[in-house]
Each structure stands twice: as structure tokens, then as C-alpha cells.
Amino acid sequence: MADPIHENHAERGRVNKNIPKKSWSRFTSKVKTITRAVGHSNDKINKSDIVHIRAIVEKLHGICGNVYEALYIDKLAAVIQASQKTSTDTREATQYSTQTKVVSRDNVKKKILEVISTSESSDQVSVIPIVGDGGVGKTTLAQLVYNDPEVKATFEIMIWVYVSANFDEVKLTQKILEQIPQCGYKNTTSLAGLQNDMNKYLSKRFLLVLDDMWEESEGRWDKLLAPIRATQVKGNIILVTTRSSSVARMTTRTEADHINLDGLDEQDFFPFFKRCIFDNEEFQGHGMLLKIAEDIASKLNRNPLAAKTVGSLLRRNVNVEYWRRIRDSDEWRFQERKDDIIPALKLSYNHLPYHLQLLFSYCAIFPKGYKFDKEELVRTWIALGFVVHERKKLEDHGSDCFDDLINWSFFHKHEHQFVVHDLMHDVAQEVMIKKCLIIDNSDFKKVFPSTCHLGIWTELSYNEENVERNYDFEEKLDAFLQDKAVLEDESILRSLESLIIVGVYDENLSAKLVTILERLFYVRVLRLQFNDDTFLSGIEKFIHLRYLELRTSDGHKPLPQYICNLYHLQILDVRHWNGLNDLPEGMSNLVNLRYLLVPEPGSLHSKISKVGDLEFLQELKEFRVQKKDGFDISELGNLKEIKGSLSILDLENVTNKEEAIRARIKHKKHLRTLSLSWGSASSNPAIQERIMEGLEPHENISHLSVVSYAGATPLWLAKNFSLTNLESLHLHDCAAVNILPPFRIMRFLRTLSLVGLSSLNDLWIDFSCAGVSSVSRSCDEGLELSEIEISKCSALTSVRLHACKALTKLSIKECGALASLEGLPDQLSPK
């Protein structure tokens, strides 16, 4: 079946860029009119037409922006560098903070440190709540305390848990245990068992931060703290950040211990705002700009989040007229209270480029506090047709867009994931109120005829340990199904583009959810958590599916065969299909598939017959060569886009070099990790040598592993070495390898592992700059190599190290002939 959306992609490249100057004003006006019409119309328009129109509008927006930028000459030279400079913070937002982004909190921090100091001999756990409005810097203050050197020296156990509205005693206890040394993740949902573990491992003084807490139930709070209060260790501290004074009073009865946080002091706020705009709080440049900035700052209620968000907006267009438009925007009229910063955040959203508005607003389908995986969200955007680019890979463009949203302060780093501030989430829900609907533990909202994204989140309403019927949640789902709009217009469910069902639930709710699935048709993104096979029966009719995620804990069910008929499918995620150990026949029919996400370590990938038909596939973690149709190594030849890691196993089943060359390993420029492995029934060493020559990787490879190879060192790993970007090299059980690559040109090498190289006589690792062309590399003299492992090299007589300045670990085992070890760096030399 033809895909009208994909067919129209080609048309987007033919937009005429040579528009006459006379018509330009009218042209840009029409673009804006179309944008508003598409964004706000409630008329019954065909959804594929809307997607097409939006794509064209996005293209026109880009043309307008490029012309404006080309003609625009009024930027100030003094701040061009600052306005172009972005700072994606890749550190953990829950634990780490940029000190320069916070001012005027020294006195408050000092008060907290005093409480910590005086609690040292206390038998009771001390709770310090930090209370304040959204965006005032509660989490940032907690970060400053958490990372204070004195605090780190005081506590032997440091734990940070993000709570949000998701107060679940079992999950929070699991998160706490994960961060206790020698404990780690506990795969159990028994609260009693988890609390026993907590009693066992909380044997030293600890600091626990519970960030963004909303739960007001004393019973649940006491249940969480029971094992913590039972510990015999003195001086333990719990730091709680919350917007609710009720939560603060519940955690501690002594209001004198509450840290009430307001906006920044008047004299500190504007310098902070200037830093957000110019990267320099002392900036004293263009007087008019500063005056306008002062006017805007007066509307932000001294709120750091508002300053950061609006500052990001201003720094992208350092122009007097633009700033005046921001200052005089009608959006400020909707400021309901003096401390209301939603208009400031909405203003920043309104000035996002159109494509970023589209991408961010989709986050309204997720609940507050949701932890976003960057790659997962980008894949979802792609599946919905939101990411369009003529030259870049869609994943790369989507990733760039995500980074742009970070730089605009719409996402913040949280551990290895990302979160949207609660107030930013409010903005997303406001702009998507007619398109996105969430059914969760919050109040049910109205259904609109234009609703096209539905998220059903049961995680907070049902207990994983004991799933019981929840009448309140059923009422919310009934309210949706019985809503006047849903009853009167069957196309609402039929035309849903996204449906996400996450969390456990009982059989009564399951039956209601099935009625929703039965009425879908145009759905493009479907994410289901289920234990009832009834859920699977109707999926085969969803011919428009691009993204399918299936989760089940009822193990060892096979994937239904009809999945192979979902021709348009781009992402199939079965990472959480418990016990899945095989794939249906015909996976190669999914010719548009970009990702097959399977449980680690990815061995299911090796079960795809004729994988070469999946030319758009982005990941293939494992490929086992077999002597049967559909599994010969030439299947890899057509996979030009695969990235990440690839492990090729059972290479003894490759018959000759020509067959190996057809795998086109050297042309896979996006691969970063490559493992080449022969099985136990290895072929002739001479044949292996020729095959190995045909498996030369692209020079972009970062990690190379060769296992059980019987031939001599291939030319591409010795004489004709070009893999200068290697960060790790592992040669294991390669008995005939006696020549190693020239280490001095491997300037990024960090780990070297040589195991079972029984023909290696002399090992010389030289990272000096002598004889190295300054054109070919910078002279770093071994500033990367930190770990060397040498084991079972029976013929090795000498090891010579030269200029290995970063070496911190050297392991030599079972090398009986070794007689000489030279050049040991000072840090490893015996004292």
C-alpha cells in the first residue's frame, strides 16, 4: 500500500526559493495564516492532508527564516558570540548544577549545612524540607548542598531520588537501594523484602534527597521511612524539595526547620538574567538592549526558571525590535498572579521555530515527571512524521532538534534521561489541550473532536505487587468512552494517531481498554503493556503503524506472525516482552523497519532471515553466519545505515574473501563497535587470513574485538593500519597474531586487551611523538591509554612501554616466558 505522507516528501524539496521581492511580504503573511489555521482549526479535515500541510508550512517557515537571517544586519558585534553560544548541560541535573547559574543562596545553604552539622549526634533522622513555587530553584539549592565538599566528606552514603507525583513506596525503595554501594538493583516488588535489604545496607551515615515530592499521606510517608527510622546510625539527613507546604508540615512538625524559598533577591536577579542572555552578568553594552531587558525582567517575578527560559529566547536574536516585541507581547496580559510565570514560559514556546513547537508539544501525552529517553522520543517523532529533512539522517536531525530544546530550556538532564519541568509540562498541555488527552491519577479532562493522541497511564493507580480492581480509574476510562464527543463522532477513536497504555491493571480495566483498541484504525504509534492475548488480536488491521511497542510479563509467548505484514512499521520494540526467544518467519517483509529493539545482548537480531532486505535498519547487534539461505554474510552488504555495535559470529561459515567483501564492512561508516568471532570448529588458517582481509572496518570504528581467529595479522591491522580512531582493541585467542598495529598513531586508544596470543614474542607500546608527522596527528604522548591487559601469551619475553603517561592499570597473567618489563610509568612503579 502506498504511503501518501512518504510520497509527498519528495514534493517538499521542490518549493520555489526564487520568490519575487514584491511578493515576499504577502508570501510570509500567507505562511503565518496557514500556520495559525492548521494549528487551531477544529474543522473536519483529512488527517493526512493536515500532516502534508504542516510539512509544507514547516518548509516555508524555514525559507522565511533563512531570508530574514540573510537580510538581517542589526546584530550587535559585542554580543554575537554570546548569542550564538549554546550550552547543552550533559551532567546529571538531579545531582549536579552549574554554580554560576545560582546566586544569592549562600545564606540558605549555610542554614542547611548548620542543621546537618548539629544533627551529627541525633538518634532521629532529620528531615529538611525546601518549600517554594515552581522554578524558584529548590532542586538547584539541593544540588549545591549535595555537591558541597564538606557534605560529601560527612556522609558515606549519598542518595538522590526524583519523586514527582509518582510516590510509590516499592519503586522509591528500589531506587534508594540502587544507589547504596554493594547493593544495587533488586528485582522484586515485595516491600517487606526491599525494606529488609534497606535495613541491612543502610549501615552508615547517609544523606537522602527526595526531589519534587507531592504525596501528603502520612501513612505512605511513614511506610517509606520505616526502615530508615529503624537504623542505629546517628546523624542521617533527608532533604525534601516540594511546592506544597502541606508536604513540608507532614515531613517535619517543626516549621523552623522549613527552608522557604522565594525568588532571587532584587539586586541579584537582573545580573543572573544577564548571564542567561549574554553569558556575562557584568555586560554593560548597548543601553537600549539593557533597558528592554530590565523591563522584561520586571515581569519574571525574580524566578530563575523564567529567567533561564526567556533568557534563552532573547539570546537567539539580539535585536532591539525583536526584544521590544517580546516585552510588549500580549501574552503578559494573561499573568493571573504576580508570581505566575506561565506567560513567560508560554512566550518562549510561542517563539520556538514551528518544528520545535510541534516536537515539544507532543510531550503533553506523557504524565508530569516522566523521564524521557532521548532516542526513544526521537524515534516516536519520526514515526509520527514530525521529523523531516532532505539531507540529514532522520535520527540525526531529530537528535539535533532535541538538543535545541535543551538549549531553549524545555528539557533538563536527569540522570541518564531527561525531564520537562512541571510548569513547562503545563504549557505543553495548554497548547495541546484539543489534541492530547491523558488518563491517569489526575482529574479527567474534556475530549475534543480534534483529539489525536491518547495516553493511559495506570502506574500510580494499580499496585504491581497486588493488582486489585480500581473503580476510580475505571470511572475515568468510562468517562472517556461515554464522553459526548466520543459517542457522537466515531472517527475520534478511529483517527487516533498515538495510543500509549503503560502500567499494570486488572481484567476489568483490560476489557475496557480492548474496546478502545477495537475502534482504532489510523494509529501510527501504539505502545501497549498487557497480559491478555485479546490485546493482540486486532493489531493486524493497523496498517498505518510506524511504531509498535509490546510489553508483557507473561513469559514465553511468541510474537504473532501477522506483525510481519505491517508493511509501514519503522520501530518494533519488544525489549519488555518477557521470555521472548524467537522471531516469526518473514521479518524481512518489514522493508521500512528502522529499529528492532530486543532484550540485551541483542541475540534475537541474529534470527532474522534475509536481514539484507531491511535496508533502512539502523541497528543490528548480532549476526550469526550460517550455511543456509538468508544467513550468509553477504546479507550485511545492503545494510548501509547500521550504527552502534555489530557482533559477527561463526565466521568459520564464510567460505572465501569475495564473500566477506560482499558484507561491505568497510563501508559502514556509522558503526562504532565491531566484534569478529570464529567458532570452535574453525576453518583453515590460510582461508581465515583471506577472509579477515575482506572484513576491514571503516576508519570511524572506535572499538574492535577479534576472537578465536587462527590466521596471521591482517594487513589492515598492521602495515596498512588506518583505524586511528580506536578507543579499545581486544585480541583474544588469536594464536598466530604476532604483529600489532603502530600504537603511536592511535591517539584515542584507552584500553588494550591481549589474551591468548601465543605467537607474540615482543610487545612494544610506544606513544612518544618521535617520527610522527604533525600533519597526521597532534602530539599527546599517550594521554589516553589507561588500561592494559596481557594474559596467556606463552611466547612473550619482553614488554616495553614508552610514554604511557595515562596508564593506571597494567595486568599481566600467565605469561611464563616473560623476562623483561621496561618503561613502567611512575604511577605504577613500586615505591
pLDDT band at 666 (very low <50, low <70, confident <90, very high): very high
> What is the architecture of the domain spanning 105-261?
3-Layer(aba) Sandwich (3.40)
Averaged pLDDT, 155-180:
84
Predicted pLDDT at 496: 94
Start-to-end C-alpha separation, the chain: 74
336 pLDDT above the threshold of 80: no
Coil, strand, or helix at residue 520? coil
Q: Which of 267-281, 306-320, 491-505, 713-727 has the lowest mean pLDDT?
A: 267-281
- What pLDDT does 189 receive? 66
**Amino acid of residue 299:** K
Residue 410's nearest CA partner among 269, 309, 335 is: 309
- Determine contact, residues 107/261, Cβ cutoff 8 Å: no
Mean pLDDT within 52-71? 49
Main-chain dihedrals φ then ψ at residue 573, nearest 5 degrees = -115, 110
The residues that bridge with 769 in the sheet, in sequence order, are none
Stretch among 66-70, 665-669, 756-760 having the lowest mean pLDDT? 66-70
pLDDT of 511? 87
Residue 54 is predicted with a pLDDT of 58
What is the side-by-side strand order in the sheet with 809-813?
A: 622-624, 644-649, 671-677, 703-707, 728-732, 751-755, 787-791, 809-813
Element at 104 (helix H, strand E): none
- Residue 430's alpha-carbon distances to 333, 375, 454, 808, in angstroms, are 16, 25, 15, 54
pLDDT bin (cut points 50, 70, 90) of residue 536 is confident
Q: Are the CB atoms for 670 and 642 separated by under 8 Å?
A: yes
Q: How confident is the model at residue 339 (pLDDT cuts 50, 70, 90)?
A: low
pLDDT, average across residues 764-776: 65
The pLDDT > 90 percentage for the chain reads 44
SS3 for 108? Answer: helix
How many C-beta atoms surround the C-beta of residue 730 within 10 A?
17
If you average pLDDT over every residue of the chain, what do you get?
83
pLDDT, residue 92, reads 33
Split at pLDDT 50, 70, 90, the class of 165 is: confident
Tell me what pLDDT residue 196 has. 84
Say which range, 133-147, 149-163, 207-221, 331-345, has the weakest mean pLDDT: 331-345
**pLDDT score recorded for residue 184:** 62
pLDDT computed for residue 510 by the predictor? 87
Say yes or no to pLDDT of 27 above 60.
no
pLDDT of residue 169: 83
DSSP 8-state secondary structure symbol assigned to residue 695: T
- How would you class 576 by CB atoms within 10 Å of its CB: exposed for 0-12, middle for 13-18, buried for 19 or more? middle
Which pLDDT does position 553 carry in this prediction?
80
pLDDT value at position 11?
Answer: 36
User: Stretch 768-788: mean pLDDT, rounded?
Assistant: 63
pLDDT value for 214:
85
Alpha-carbon span 234 to 247, nearest angstrom: 24
CA dist., res. 682 & res. 692, Å (int): 13
Q: Is the predicted pLDDT of residue 90 greater than 70, yes or no?
A: no
As a whole number, mean pLDDT of residues 638-650 equals: 96
Between CA 396 and CA 776 the distance in angstroms is 28
pLDDT at 335 over 60: yes
What percent of the chain is predicted at pLDDT more than 70?
82
181 pLDDT higher than 90: no
Q: What is the mean pLDDT of residues 790-801?
A: 96
pLDDT given for residue 338 in this prediction: 62
Region 4-11 average pLDDT: 37
Residue 29 has phi, psi (to 5 degrees) of: -60, -45
Q: How far apart are CA 537 and CA 521, in angstroms?
A: 14
Lowest-confidence segment of 36-40, 322-326, 538-542, 634-638 by average pLDDT: 36-40
pLDDT at 53: 63
Residue 91 carries which DSSP code?
A: S
Q: Which three cell numbers stand for residue 394?
A: 532522520
Tens digits of per-residue pLDDT, 381-419?
999 999 999 889 999 999 999 999 998 889 988 778 999
Angle ∠(462,463,465) on CA atoms, nearest 5? 150
Mean pLDDT in residue range 730-757:
94
- Predicted local distance difference test score (pLDDT) of residue 3: 44
CB 444 within 8 A of CB 482: no
